Amino acid sequence: MIEVKGLTKYYGEHAAIRDLNFAIDRGEVIGFLGLNGAGKTTTLKILGCVLLPTAGEVTVDGIDIARDPHEVRRRIGFLPDTPPLYSEMTVGRYLTFAAELRGVPSAAAPRAVAEAEEKTATREVHEELISSLSHGYRQRVGVAQALVHKPKLLILDEPTSGLDPVQIVEMRSTIKVLRGEHTILLSSHILSEISQTCDRLLVIQHGEIVAQGSEQDLATQLGGGGTIEIEVAGTSARAIEVARTVTGIGDCTVIREGDGVALLSLQGAPDLRPKVARALVGNGIDLLRIDRGAARLESIFLKLTKEPEAPAQ
């Protein structure tokens, strides 16, 4: 769906992004991860045909964005970090305007608007003025304008920015609804957000892609291979002994033990969870909880974006 080769963008003398290379397949949900100023927004703006690159080649659905940006824009829906909303319009009028602007015929616009409102759960505010909406609704109307013309590619820059926990959950379910219908590229600071909604991650640091792949791939690349957290009744010794019999499980660490409950961290891919569970239960150990390592993505992110230490003087 997207092919990026040698993408570079300079703002004056400063390189915002340098020689980016990546590809995204149709239907994938990709998370774009990076610290502030890493070059996420610049990259998304170039893919959204808002900015032109200084060098490099980007094709969306086989069309070069520099040669035929007009045609590319028909195929994309773009939500910038601040939703582009006209506060004096009602949600319905605004979405109709966005739909017609993106080439939806006037006769088909009401249906397209209704579908977009359905997917983003904004139907109930159809007649409301945008200026009167809460931040969460504004963000969802922003997503609705991006998908109202049914684009093949949806680019969402920080869709959960500034949302409260309830609104984040709502936005997450909105993105899940869109999965499958669109190829989605989203950036976020919230790591759990990326972890829960994306198939693959692109980690950008100082304008360069430092890693790409699934969470599992990245963990493997960084030598971690992932972790599994288990909570068992009783002591940790027997559970460790049994867990180690499962092929692929490495070091076992006791995180917490007491009151007849032990919390352990097992070095191993999260895919091994069913095998570990069967082994524990088969050996008569009461398994209270099994999950992937909670802090995993954070540690991957920190490793990837860690500044190199300055040489000693």
Contact residues: other proteins, CB under 8 A: 11, 48-52, 70-71, 73-74, 76, 78, 80, 82-89, 97-98, 100-103, 145
Q: Which is nearer to other proteins, 47 or 194 (CB)?
A: 47
DSSP sequence for 250-297: --EEEEEEETTEEEEEEES-GGGHHHHHHHHHHTT--EEEEEE-TTHH
Cα separation, 113 vs 90, whole angstroms = 12
CB of 288 to other proteins, least distance (A): 49
Q: Which is nearer to other proteins, 149 or 273 (CB)?
A: 149
As given in the structure block, the two tokens for residue 216 are: 């599992």
CB of 14 to other proteins, least distance (A): 12
CB of 152 to other proteins, least distance (A): 13
Q: Which is nearer to other proteins, 73 or 292 (CB)?
A: 73
Q: Which is nearer to other proteins, 117 or 157 (CB)?
A: 157
Provide the pairing of β-strand 55-60 with 63-64.
antiparallel
CB of 105 to other proteins, least distance (A): 10
CA dihedral sign, ordered 198, 201, 206, 209: negative
Rg of the chain, C-alpha, whole Å = 23
DSSP-based three-state secondary structure for 76: strand
Cα separation, 175 vs 198, whole angstroms = 10
CB of 302 to other proteins, least distance (A): 31
CB of 194 to other proteins, least distance (A): 23
C-alpha torsion angle, residues 94, 100, 106, 109 (rounded to 10): -60
Cα separation, 287 vs 207, whole angstroms = 45
Q: Which is nearer to other proteins, 87 or 192 (CB)?
A: 87
Q: Which is nearer to other proteins, 71 or 199 (CB)?
A: 71
| Helix ranges, the chain (H) | 40-47, 69-75, 91-101, 109-120, 135-147, 165-178, 191-197, 215-221, 236-243, 273-282, 296-305
Give the CB-side neighbour count of residue 284, counting CA atoms within 13 A. Answer: 1
CB of 95 to other proteins, least distance (A): 11
Q: Which is nearer to other proteins, 85 or 243 (CB)?
A: 85
